[in-house]
């Protein structure tokens, strides 16, 4: 225990010197006692540790408290950051593109990445619920602004970035080559690309961590250069003609007054909700059949396609007078297999 405590204190001193070198005012780091340095540390991450009777060998990461560390470094001003950007981490391996359908090392690397020192405000989905339905590799090729606005509103983001990893293995357990690409926006625009190598499967997590650091630099440079900024077409506001609003009120008042003794009663109707429905479309006939099936459900006010993918999964937006569970039950009664997510359904025969 004494060896571990001494090792941690030494790691904190070295981390303070390195932090001052990269963010301080120049020169040698001020000589602070161990207690002062420890008061600025919020966590120590043990990446690798070997404990023996007479020695302690470890690879440690030191995380400093931003507020306390900023006071020592003189970094009291506000730091410019990007607008909230939704992260869709796509992994290509074995000929398959995966985002949140299954747990992947690329998804885990992004979940573990510490973004405190980044200029990018990353919005990282956890991959639960409807995330695997809404955020797929096919989403990157969709250009519909209405669809993207719905996705971004779901996650509280202003725009989207796509860090893409493509892993190629020479043989099982052998060297792995990773090609990493940074893209952004609803038009899937290219920012940069690079290649890294891992000698074995065991070194892949470290390679992915290094790749995220380089991707963060690409995104940060694009932000500083004015390239990475929210797409204005994603923030279009629907204009409402105010002159049309009083007309229904006037007509309703006149119709009530025509009958003496009539009492106006507020109409009662089920709340109207809008849901996203994904459905498999092997051919054009499957598109028509899926749209017709949903429109035939009692309570459906409208159904319009937002994305058509022949041979894949198409998407429609459905306005329904009722709750999602009722819509799902009605579709099951027609013989559809229904998967329920948060604000979205996936149906197939």
Q: Torsions phi, psi of 161, nearest 5?
A: -125, 150
Q: What is the DSSP string of 279-323?
A: EEESSHHHHHHHHHHHHTSTTEEEEEEEE--TTEEEEEEEEEES-
Kindly report, residue by residue over 205-227, the tens digit of the pLDDT: 999 999 999 999 999 999 988 88
85-233: CATH number: 3.40.50
Give the residue carrying structure tokens 């470290």: 206
- Strand, helix or coil at 139? helix
* Domains of the chain by residue range: 2-73, 85-233, 270-348
User: What's the predicted TM-score (pTM) here?
Assistant: 0.53
Residues ≥6 apart with Cβ < 8 Å to 255? none
Average pLDDT over residues 147-158: 84
Task: Tell me if domain 85-233 and domain 270-348 are identical in fold.
Answer: no
pLDDT for 178 equals 95
Q: Is the pLDDT of residue 315 over 50?
A: yes
pLDDT at 269: 55
Task: Answer whether 299's CB lies under 8 Å from 322's CB.
Answer: yes
**Domain range 270-348, CATH class:** alpha beta
Interatomic CA distance for residues 162 and 336, integer angstroms? 33
**What is the chain's mean pLDDT, rounded?**
80
Task: Tell me the two tokens of residue 207.
Answer: 């390679």
pLDDT band at 239 (very low <50, low <70, confident <90, very high): very low
Least confident of 108-117, 275-284, 308-317: 308-317
What pLDDT digit, counting tens, does each position of 166-191 carry?
Answer: 999 988 888 999 999 999 998 899 99
At 143 the three-state DSSP class reads coil
Give the percent of the chain with pLDDT over 90: 20
């Amino acid at each position: 225990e004494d060896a571990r405590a001494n090792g941690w204190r030494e790691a904190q001193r070295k981390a303070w010197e390195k932090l001052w070198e990269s963010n301080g005012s120049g020169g040698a780091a001020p000589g602070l006692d161990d207690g002062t340095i420890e008061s600025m540390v919020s966590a120590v991450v043990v990446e690798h540790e070997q404990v023996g009777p007479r020695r302690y060998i470890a690879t440690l990461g030191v995380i400093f408290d931003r507020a306390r560390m900023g006071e020592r470094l003189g970094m009291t001003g506000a730091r410019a950051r990007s607008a909230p950007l939704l992260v869709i981490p796509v992994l290509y391996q074995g000929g398959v593109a995966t985002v949140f359908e299954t747990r992947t090392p690329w998804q885990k690397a992004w979940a573990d990445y510490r973004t405190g020192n980044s200029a990018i405000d990353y919005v990282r989905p956890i991959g639960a619920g409807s995330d695997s339905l809404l955020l797929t590799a096919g989403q990157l090729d969709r250009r519909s602004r209405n669809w993207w606005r719905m996705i971004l509103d779901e996650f509280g983001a202003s725009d989207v970035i796509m860090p893409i990893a493509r892993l190629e293995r020479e043989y099982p357990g052998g060297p792995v080559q990773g090609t990493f690409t940074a893209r952004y926006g609803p038009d899937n625009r290219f920012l940069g690309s690079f290649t890294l190598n891992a000698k074995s499967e065991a070194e892949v997590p470290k390679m992915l961590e290094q790749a995220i650091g380089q991707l963060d630099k690409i995104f940060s440079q694009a932000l500083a250069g004015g390239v990475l900024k929210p797409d204005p077409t994603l923030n279009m506001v629907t204009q409402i003609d105010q002159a049309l609003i009083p007309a229904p009120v006037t007509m309703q008042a006149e119709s009530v007054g025509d009958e003496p003794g009539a009492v106006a009663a507020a109409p009662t109707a089920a709340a109207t909700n809008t849901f996203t429905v994904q459905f498999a479309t092997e051919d054009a006939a499957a598109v028509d059949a899926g749209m017709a099936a949903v429109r035939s459900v009692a309570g459906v006010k409208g159904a319009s396609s937002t994305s058509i993918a022949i041979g894949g999964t198409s998407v429609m937006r459905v306005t329904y007078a009722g709750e999602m569970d009722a819509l799902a039950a009605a579709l099951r009664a027609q013989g559809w297999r229904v998967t329920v997510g948060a604000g979205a359904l996936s149906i197939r025969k």
